[in-house]
Amino acid sequence: MANDLPPRPPPPLLDDACALFLDVDGTLIEFERDPEAVTLLPEVRDAIGRISDRLEGAVALISGRPLGQLDDLFAPLHLPAAGLHGHELRSANGRLDSPTDTTDTTDTSEWLHAVHQQAMRFAHGHPGVLVEDKGRSLALHWRGAPHAAGDVRAFAERHIRGNAGYRLQPGDHVVEFVPEGSDKGRALQQLMQHPPFRGRLPVFLGDDLTDEFGFDAANAQHGWSVLVGARSPSAAVFALPHIRSVHAWLQENAY
Q: How far apart are CA 213 and CA 234, in angstroms?
A: 10
Nearest to 195 by CA among 56, 1, 100, 85: 56
Three-state SS at 203: strand
Q: In Å, how far are 45, 178, 236 from 65, measured between CA atoms?
A: 17, 11, 22
Give the Cα-Cα-Cα angle 202, 87, 213 (nearest 5 degrees). Answer: 40
Any catalytic annotation for residue 183?
A: no
Residue 174: CB atoms within 10 Å: 23
For residue 239, list its beta bridge partners.
Answer: 227
Give dist(CA 112, CA 159) in Å, integer: 10
In 3-state terms, what secondary structure has residue 123?
A: helix
8 Å CB contact between 55 and 48: no
Residues 6+ positions from 80 with CB-CB distance below 8 Å: 57, 59, 60, 61, 90, 91, 92, 191, 197
Cite the DSSP H helix spans in the chain. Answer: 42-54, 67-74, 106-124, 149-160, 184-191, 212-220, 243-253
The residue annotated as part of the active site, out of 15, 23, 53, 216, is 23
Residues marked active site are found at: 23
